Amino acid sequence: MTAPTVPDLQHIAPREQAEILAQALPYIRKFHGKTIVIKYGGNAMIDPVLQQDFAEDVVLLKLVGMNPVVVHGGGPQIDEALSRLGKKGTFIQGMRVTDEETMEVVEWVLAGQVQQDIVGLINAAGGKAVGLTGRDGGLIRARKLKMVDKNDPSIEHDVGQVGEIESIDPSVVKALQDDQFIPVISPLGFGASNENYNINADVVAGKLAEVLRAEKLILLTNTPGVLDKSGKLLTDLSARQIDELFADGTISGGMLPKIAGALDAAKGGVNAVHIIDGRVPHAMLLEILSEQAYGTMIRSH
């Protein structure tokens, strides 16, 4: 296994370097052997420097004894592939409308291009990543999502081959973890008649974190975290406070499924859910191995 590249610390005095490393020790001890589900998305997936940072962070977490599981999105890559075919993506309440042709593109982009890029990055950084979709090992069983209009419950939107999770069988993920592999999961599920479903990656990450009894769920985003109406970062939120932010419209658009999934995971037994800024280099490592908050933490109560 090739050693991961090490950031240049020459500008930091040796004593300070030692203190930085020593500060990480309690967190390494606390989370040793624990599962950490990471939703990988946003700029961290597109910027080559941030991609490298992410891969190194995941490998380091594995090497110090944690069990990272990566669930990835791919919205911008799907939009790009659709536009090459002359199609434009449409969204209803933050969910991508997925007709048959769009579903083919989604599968090709997520399970092919994006997943294999991530597997390659992690392996190049010294890890052993393995790509999975919801079909592998019967991981994600899904059914067609019935989307009720948020303003008028009597209206139901048809969003095509978008699925909601019926059940997750985590045995394939656990088998890989036990064998020192890092699972990289595309959010694609299958139905009772073997049909394909595109599932929101934040929802998959949240549900998987629940089923795996994860210590943490980390959602990498293109925002500093959850912001209040004046744009100030809210670093620590309870379930009740989030319900209030939904009600007054502070949380809307693409953040709706993200926060809803995070809240469900917190209520479902995941100790801490972090929504962090994937544009900050090594944000994930800083969030897990230091006291500093780099986003919003959601508590179940």
Q: Is 127 annotated as a binding residue?
A: no
The string of DSSP codes covering 21-49 is HHHHHHHHHHHTT-EEEEEE-GGGGTSHH
Q: What token pair was written down for 166?
A: 């019926």
Q: Is 131 annotated as a binding residue?
A: no
How far is residue 117's CA from residue 138's CA, in Å, rounded to a whole number? 23
Residue with tokens 């010294």: 126
Q: Is 74 annotated as a binding residue?
A: yes
Q: Is 198 annotated as a binding residue?
A: yes
How far is residue 99's CA from residue 141's CA, in Å, rounded to a whole number? 19
Q: What token pair was written down for 267?
A: 């209520």
User: Is residue 299 packed enough to be buried (19+ CB in 10 Å), middle (13-18) or exposed (0-12)?
Assistant: middle
How far is residue 244's CA from residue 257's CA, in Å, rounded to a whole number? 16
**Radius of gyration of the chain measured on its C-alpha atoms:** 19
Closest CA to 260 of 270, 271, 252, 272: 252
How far lies 299's CA from each of 36, 258, 276, in Å? 16, 15, 15
Phi-psi region of 274 (alpha: psi -120 to 50; beta: other; left: phi over 0): beta
Residue ranges for the known binding site for substrate are 74-75, 96, 198
